[in-house]
Amino acid sequence: MSAPAGRIGSHSGRGLARGGRSRLQLAGATALVTGATGGLGGAIASALRDRGAELLLSGRRAAELASVAAPLQARTALADLTVREDVERLGALALEAGVDVLVANAALPASGVLPDLTDVQIDRMLDVNLRAPIMLAHALSPALIARGRGHLVFVSSLSGKAAAPASSLYSATKFGLRGFALALRQDLAPHGVGVSLVAPGFIRDAGMFAASGVKLPPGAGTRTPSDVAAAVIRVIESDRAELDVAPAALRAGAAFASLAPQLAASASRLAGSDRVSTELARRQRDQR
C-alpha cells in the first residue's frame, strides 16, 4: 500500500563512487519522480521499481497519484510545482526520505507564441519546467555530496536542442534545463554524484504530444514511454551525461540545428514543422 501523501518512511540506499563518477546501484536506493501521474512519469516509476528502487512519487492530483503509487508500493507527496511553497516542502520531504535519485520529469507544454501568453502563464511555465527542477536539485545536492553518491536526472526534450515555431517559452525552459544539467554535472562529478539529461522527441501512447492528437509528417517517427523509462535507467546506471530518445533522423536533425539553426529551421519548415507546432499550440492552449 502507498503511504499517505506527504508521509515519509525510512530508506536504505546504496551506491558506489569510482574516480569521481557516479555508479549508483538502484536496488535499495530511494528515488523521487516528479510528474508521476503523467504517462512518462508512471513508466519511469515502474522501471525504477523493477530495478529495486524504493519510490517517492510526486504529483498534484491526489486520486491519480494514489492510483499510480499503489501497485508500486510507493510513498506519495502531493505538490503543485507552480506553488513555490510546495516545491520547498517537496524538497524537505525528499531530504527526510533520504532520496538518492531525483527524476525531474514534471513539465507543462508551454506552447504558444509569446504575445498570446499572459504573465501568469509565463510564470507557470518557467516555474514548473525550469525553476522547480533547479530548486529540488538545490535542496538535495548537499546531502548527496555528503554521502558521496546519488544521481539527478532531468527529463528535457529535443526542443532543448532545436527550436520550433510557437514554442519559444518551452524551448527557453528546455534549453535552460540542458545547460543547467550539463554544468551541474561538472560541479558534482568530483563528489561521486551523477547528473544526466534525457531528451525525448515525439512520444506516442502517453504524454503531452500523444494527448494532443497532432499528426506528424511522414517519416517523423516516435518513441514510447517505456523507451524514455529505459533511457532514465541507462543514464543512471552508466552515468551518461545525455541521451536522446528519438529516431535517428530526429536526433540528427537536432544535432544539425545546434550547428546551423537558420538552415535547419528552413529545412524543418519544408518538412512541415510549422503546421505541427501551430497545431500543438492550438490543442494545448488550455494546459498553459
Q: Are 127 and 152 in contact (CB under 8 A)?
A: no
DSSP annotation of 205: S
Given this model, what pLDDT does residue 276 score?
64
Q: What are the pLDDT digits (tens) for 169-185?
A: 999 999 999 999 999 99
CA distance 286 to 288: 6
Diameter of the chain by CA atoms?
55
Given this model, what pLDDT does residue 19 score?
41
170 is catalytic: yes
- Which domains does the chain possess? 14-287 (3.40.50.720)
Which among 36, 38, 35, 33 is positioned nearest to 210, based on CA atoms? 38
Q: pLDDT band for position 272 (50/70/90)?
A: low
pTM of the model: 0.85
User: Within a 13 Å sphere around the CA of 33, how many CA atoms are in the beta-carbon half?
Assistant: 29
Query: Which one is catalytic: 17, 72, 170, 199?
Result: 170
User: Which of 21-30, 52-61, 274-283 is the least confident region?
Assistant: 274-283
